[in-house]
Structure 1
Amino acid sequence: MRIRTLIVDDEPLARRGLALRLARHPDIEIVGEAGNGREAFFAISEHLPVLMFLDVQMPGVNGLELLRAVPLPQLPLTVFVTAYDQYAMQAFDANALDYLLKPIDDARLDAAVERARRSISTRDAEDHRERLLRLLGNVSGRPGLTLDEALIDADNLCVHAADDRLSIKDSGRILRVPLNDILWIDAAGDYMCVHTPADTHVLRATMRELEGRLDPRRFQRIHRSTIVNVARVKELRSHLNGEYFLILDSGQQLKLSRSYKDKVRLLH
């Protein structure tokens, strides 16, 4: 089995050197490289790597900030690459598969690759039904999710990649809302409000479900209760308390909270 792998490092020579060393492992397939966290964010969405070698210290969006920004369903197994040993514990706290200290030792690299193989093999050997429920439970924030509930949720909310629409069940009918028409989405109790220039559509879902199903290159969470269509953001205005306000092309003003301030660099 080929292991789809992404290399993220702001130093081109470091990326090249790691790619050459990984070439000794025929099952490692380098599907992309990124020079900073923002590039890596979009590369993950585009290439869907299974494994990622991630530099911790990068200008702009660093490695830890990148992991916080990537939707859970797309998060690859991660090996941190760092010149600073104090980041090792942070790496494991962030659920990294392993970490490598620069300059990278070949034996240590080989051990990290083998650890990735074992992890992937174990994951593939798990019961498919249990994996599906665990994944859906994590994404929805409902760890006790049953199979019947998962199937109902999937039926109620679906993104059609072929025609670029979001399907929403509404009183026995299915509305197919073009993604380009969506301005922002916010939470209202157990429901989500999908705002377009013409109307607001309501569906029963969680913020994490929508965040996991929408393309992160186009839709970003900017508040615990708000997702915005990045293409509809016309202006960013900073506030004295560290928050930002986003002005959409519709004139709507949305708050980007301090908890999501790392998203500012992804919106530039």
Structure 2
Amino acid sequence: MNSLRLLIVDDEPLIRAGIRNGLSSIEGIEIARESSSVAEAMQALESEQFDLVLLDVQMQDGTGLDVVQGIGPKRMPPVIFVTAYDEYAVKAFELNAVDYLLKPFDDERLCHSVHRAQERIAEQRQAALADHLQALLDTRPRRWPERIAVRQREQFDLVPVESIDWIESANNYVQLHCGPKQYLLGESLTHIESRLNPAKFLRIHRCRIVNLSRILAIHPMLSGTYEMELRSGIRLATGRQYKDAVQALLHN
């Protein structure tokens, strides 16, 4: 992992020196800049990118909370608040700080806090990377299969998807109805549904999927369901839980 760029904000030189020394043994930490006031901290955060901020709560020209407010919580890097007053700890966690350090603190407590921050930042980066990769997948054009391989004894028949009239479940199999031909395929109805283009195939029943191009007419039933009449003359009953999907088809 790349080094985390750290900004130290404290108006006491000895505290800043103690933080520098305490973090010298931690790998992956780069102390990129130090600030001794609210004004300096805001200028640094506006002009540079930091991964983590150790932020003193009480300074001569204001507070660390003023820094957060001035930069904006959404733009603020992860923060470890440094304070001499216990009551600020509550406010720190209200602001979703990674941690807080209560003065005086030793090197062990400092390192524990920074390690905790490293873990959280790594998790956030991984989550951001996962979101980015998912966004790439979501924008990638989906390629739907043109043929489905069905095993027939010693060979595989390649069934054109466009030849399928409708599909029904048969225990742990599905039956493909293709005009006068039928094929038994060893997978579930839900699985084959995920492989078919939803713009061309619609699930109308827990046991049935229909090729939309084969529908000749849709007949409302007294039960609130429908019957779909296919070009072949067969009629397929829809399920109650798929009523909305059929009505959406009618409206579109």
TM-score by length of 1: 0.47
TM-score by length of 2: 0.50
Higher-RCO chain (CA-CA 8 Å, sequence separation at least 6):
1
Q: Which structure would you say has the larger Rg?
A: 2
